[in-house]
Structure 1
Amino acid sequence: MHTDHERCVRAVQSKDARFDGWFFTAVLTTRIYCRPSCPAAPPKVENMTFYPSAAAAQQAGFRACKRCRPDAAPGSPRWNERADAVARAMRLIADGVVDREGVPGLAARLGYSTRQIERQLRAELGAGPLALARAQRAQTARLLIETSPLPMAEIAFAAGFASVRTFNETVREVFALPPTELRRRVRRGSQAATPGALTLRLPFRAPLCPDNLFGHLAATAVPGVEEWRDGAYRRTLRLPYGHGVAALRPRPDHIECRLSLTDLRDLAGAIARCRRMLDLDADPEAVDAALGADPALAPLVRKAPGRRVPRTADAEEFALRAVLGQQVSTAAARTLAGRLVTAHGEPVEDPEGGLTRLFPTAGTLAGLDPEALAMPRARRSTLIGLVAELADGRLSLGAGSDWEQARRELAALPGIGPWTVEIIAMRALGDPDAFTATDLGIRHAARELGLPATPAALLRHSDAWRPWRAYAVQYLWATGDHPINQLPTP
């Protein structure tokens, strides 16, 4: 979009927040870059230039605006909507792969050479993987500077910098202030009370309907791993350097996020997982415009615009839970998952609530006795088969996975049918076009709305909703009175 100069200029002049994250405005006279909705007076048109990423603007020598904080804008919806190599690379970079494994590790996960990945990212984003990871490190450093009392040297290494000197140079270059000055500008009392406990604001594009988003997560919460407490959805997180607890509370203009981490090097990855779980980088205007064009869906969209797809913080965990939930009620699925967690989950401490364990990994479950699983034999066999594929690495469902390849591999496993494949694609892989045409709730809603009720006919009708069929599922589900459709009562 950044190449459409006139459209970008109109967005900047109207301070249109819908375009935050789509592109960045750089001002040639001040050498500052901003988000389109920056509250400052718009610069002259001849002084504007546009970049597809914050990293590209930084590479060109522009520093982040102190008023609109473009480095903290919502992410581009493109990386949620697409499954090509660039989108998969961006999801992996957000998850911290470049910091942990370098560019060769990123390329290996994607099945390309480092040169190919460099070329594709530069062509589309104006910056290579190292520059994109550096921009993310700068944002992580700023969050730690402003929300924790940690010494600067600890922040430098927690944010992923190789040295304190590189940390200082990067912060000065990106924000035009030394780290100590950034901290001094924070209002007294806004820092976290203890190291490792951080309270952040996660931005999103309005509108956002929290009902089905938090309602679904709360209604399906696995005891010990997830809970709804004091108006917040809380869950344990398994992270590369340790574990953590996230508490996510909906606010009118942001999501309040409280993170308790055993290792602060996991901060950027934990934030990325929380954003992905709540679908915060979606473009609700585009989704609702497309779905609202269908007369059957239009009243649902007008009633509660901005529905998001409730996703997951751990794709492997969700796939296992999807199999546990085959052909049983939500309550029964929670019970089965809770038993698995109690027997095999890694214990954690949660002084602020009732979370007790991490969901067990496929590697942990690979060694258990199948007879110990209290469930029908066919489903038990399906679960064991899925565990084996995940544990051996033959099936990949991570941030950089290929959606269609994962679908084919899942469908090839005995006992995994179209409903399970599509529910995993929708909530674990993040495919915005996943569609569960065989779901009983969807078929019931279709009949009530006068839509085709048989799976084949509904699937044909749903072509008009592409590429947003996963969001259509949320609107259709919302016609029922199931607890997944509403925020829990206090």
Structure 2
Amino acid sequence: MERPSGERGDSPDMAGRLRAVQSKDTRFDGWFITAVTSTGIYCRPSCPALMPKPENIRFYPSAAAAQQAGFRACKRCRPDATPGSPEWNERADLVARAMRLIADGAVDRDGVPGLAARLGYSVRQVERQLRAELGAGPLALARAQRAQTARMLIETSTLGMADAAFAAGFASVRAFNDTVREVFALSPTELRSRAAARAPAPVSGALNLRLPFRAPLCPDNVFGHLAATAVPGVEEWRDGAYRRTLRLPHGTGIVTLRPGPEHIAARLALTDPRDLTAAISRCRRLLDLDADPEAIDADLRADPVMAPLVDKAPGRRVPRTVDPDEFAIRAVLGQQVSTSAARTHAARIVRAHGGEITDAEGGLTHLFPEAAALRDADPDTLAMPASRRAALTTLAAALADGTVDLGTGADWTESRARLTELPGIGPWTVESVAMRALGDPDAFLPTDLGIRFAARDLGLPSTPGALTRRAEAWRPWRAYAVQYLWATGDHPINLLPT
């Protein structure tokens, strides 16, 4: 099914979108919005309400476009609570980069000029391309996101309405009230009253949320990987959940993520509630929750070697990161050493250079050090071979001064090129960073020892050049193929901890 174009028409894809709505197909939730002129509401494609007459249906590429056209959100299917479009994490063009930044709260923090500056384009260029593809400009897209965040805060926290308004990114309580009424057809007080049966978070400042995803999801590889590589003090696996510290635009936080059959249960303890949007966005990226596993797995199944691996445990995600700079530094620490040794090196650096943090619910003690702190670190505190120490400090300096940009809106090609120029940063490190920090779904690791062993055991070429040529069949999902190949080995990264 092609991307929806924004309005009702007679395009070939119109019939496909109507079939998705008629069958209430949850796979298309987040891909497009269905609006109904007779009711004035917009819904997710799988809304359980009765099927409207086709002539009354309008399709929009985003909630913001539907809101601009005068539609309000459905109270039954809650279209604001769907997974995001997988396109924004699959593509590297201007629109996808802009959407990743908007999801991270860039417009709320820096305005549209700040967004454009991060992207390296003029405000006019950014506005034009977003309107052409999504039917709304960056301000409207950010407003739609603020409305979603506002609803979450109203329904799941005990914040006063004024605090909720500013935490959601609104400039005034009046704008908050007007937007909530316009989008949800309820006042903030009415929204909270409807959710009154839910128990409030027992710890002050903590929010309990549900992070939706597209099924299937195999939690073993993503949570197993995060738990097996967890840096003591920064990350931990406790009572069936992955927990870690967060450095955010306005403060710090601790997140607890627990896998479930229908959603990921998230608990966020933030020092500043204005960081809620960024924290949610980063947690979703960490767990790759906006992926479209059915589309990915269907393409990989076309290869007879990959098909049984996919069928055994479909829905594998790429474990990513909440902090791209942190991951790049950890990738250098992990060069040519075991997972255990990499954790030991990282823990030592965290104790020496990471900021301390208080964890009321577990054993987390530190934030991972910022790049600038490692750039300026005493070399004697970096107990590792001289060549790796030089690679680490050079990378830290490049991250700190912006020579290398691995941020949410980074240009993947440019970031790869800049990394390659640094001493001690080889193809394995570059592609590891591309896969897990930048989020490139087609990143590939032909020199990785685990991948080469898996290739040998499966009868695939095991030399890097030959394997890369064979992996052409897996494009544009080679990063997901890596997850399935890794799963053939006996390693803790493939097992959900007990």
TM-score under structure 2 length normalisation:
0.97
Q: Partner of 2:225 in structure 1?
A: 216
Q: Contact between 2:34 and 2:42, CA under 8 Å: does it hold in 1?
A: yes
- Aligned with 1:267 (options 257, 264, 276): 276
Q: Partner of 2:120 in structure 1?
A: 111
Range 232-241 or range 180-189, more displaced: 180-189
Q: Contact between 1:248 and 1:257, CA under 8 Å: does it hold in 2?
A: yes
Instruction: State yes or no: 1:388 paired with 2:397.
Output: yes
Q: Partner of 1:202 in structure 2?
A: 211
- Aligned with 1:359 (options 365, 368, 392): 368
- Aligned with 1:252 (options 238, 257, 261): 261
Structure 2 SS opposite 1:307:
coil
Identical aligned pairs, as a percentage? 75
Q: Partner of 2:327 in structure 1?
A: 318
Q: Contact between 1:398 and 1:429, CA under 8 Å: does it hold in 2?
A: yes
Deviations 1:118-165 (A, max 9, x none): 000000000000000001100111001001111101111111111111
Q: Contact between 2:349 and 2:381, CA under 8 Å: does it hold in 1?
A: no
Q: Partner of 2:4 in structure 1?
A: 2
- Aligned with 1:98 (options 107, 123, 129): 107
Q: Offset of 1:44 from its aligned partner?
A: 1.1
Q: Offset of 1:371 from its aligned partner?
A: 2.9
Instruction: State yes or no: 1:302 paired with 2:305.
Output: no
CA distance in 2, matches of 1:261, 1:196: 6
CA distance in 1, matches of 2:182, 2:34: 17
CA distance in 2, matches of 1:5, 1:71: 23
CA distance in 1, matches of 2:391, 2:225: 25
Counterpart AA for 2:304: P
Instruction: State yes or no: 1:484 paired with 2:493.
Output: yes
CA distance in 1, matches of 2:189, 2:270: 23
Q: Offset of 1:104 from its aligned partner?
A: 0.2
Deviations 1:260-314 (A, max 9, x none): 0000000011000000000000000110001111111100000000000000000
Counterpart AA for 1:466: R
Q: Contact between 1:278 and 1:311, CA under 8 Å: does it hold in 2?
A: yes
Q: Contact between 1:210 and 1:307, CA under 8 Å: does it hold in 2?
A: yes
Counterpart AA for 1:402: D
Instruction: State yes or no: 1:40 paired with 2:75.
Output: no
Q: Offset of 1:189 from its aligned partner?
A: 3.9
Q: Offset of 1:196 from its aligned partner?
A: 1.7
Q: Offset of 1:193 from its aligned partner?
A: 2.3
Q: Which runs of 5+ in 2 are unaligned?
A: 6-12
- Aligned with 2:239 (options 226, 230, 234): 230
Counterpart AA for 2:4: H
Deviations 1:452-472 (A, max 9, x none): 111100000111100000000
Counterpart AA for 1:123: A
Dislocated runs of 4+, deviation >3 Å: none
Instruction: State yes or no: 1:435 paired with 2:437.
Output: no
CA distance in 1, matches of 2:115, 2:301: 39
CA distance in 1, matches of 2:473, 2:200: 48
Counterpart AA for 2:88: W
Q: Contact between 1:347 and 1:357, CA under 8 Å: does it hold in 2?
A: yes
Q: Partner of 1:56 in structure 2?
A: 65
Q: Partner of 1:343 in structure 2?
A: 352
RMSD: 0.7
Q: Contact between 2:375 and 2:394, CA under 8 Å: does it hold in 1?
A: no
TM-score under structure 1 length normalisation:
0.99
CA distance in 1, matches of 2:435, 2:203: 37
Counterpart AA for 1:2: P
Structural mapping, 1:69-218, within 5 Å: 69-218=78-227
Q: Contact between 1:149 and 1:194, CA under 8 Å: does it hold in 2?
A: no
CA distance in 1, matches of 2:325, 2:36: 44
CA distance in 1, matches of 2:87, 2:205: 31
Counterpart AA for 2:447: T
Q: Partner of 2:20 in structure 1?
A: 11
Q: Contact between 2:243 and 2:255, CA under 8 Å: does it hold in 1?
A: yes
Deviations 1:46-76 (A, max 9, x none): 1111000011101110000011100111000
Structure 2 SS opposite 1:259:
strand
Instruction: State yes or no: 1:451 paired with 2:453.
Output: no
Q: Offset of 1:16 from its aligned partner?
A: 0.5
Structure 1 SS opposite 2:266:
strand
Counterpart AA for 1:45: P
Counterpart AA for 1:303: K
Q: Contact between 1:77 and 1:283, CA under 8 Å: does it hold in 2?
A: yes
Q: Which runs of 5+ in 1 are unaligned?
A: none
Q: Contact between 1:245 and 1:259, CA under 8 Å: does it hold in 2?
A: yes
Deviations 1:431-456 (A, max 9, x none): 00000000010010001111111110
Counterpart AA for 1:343: A
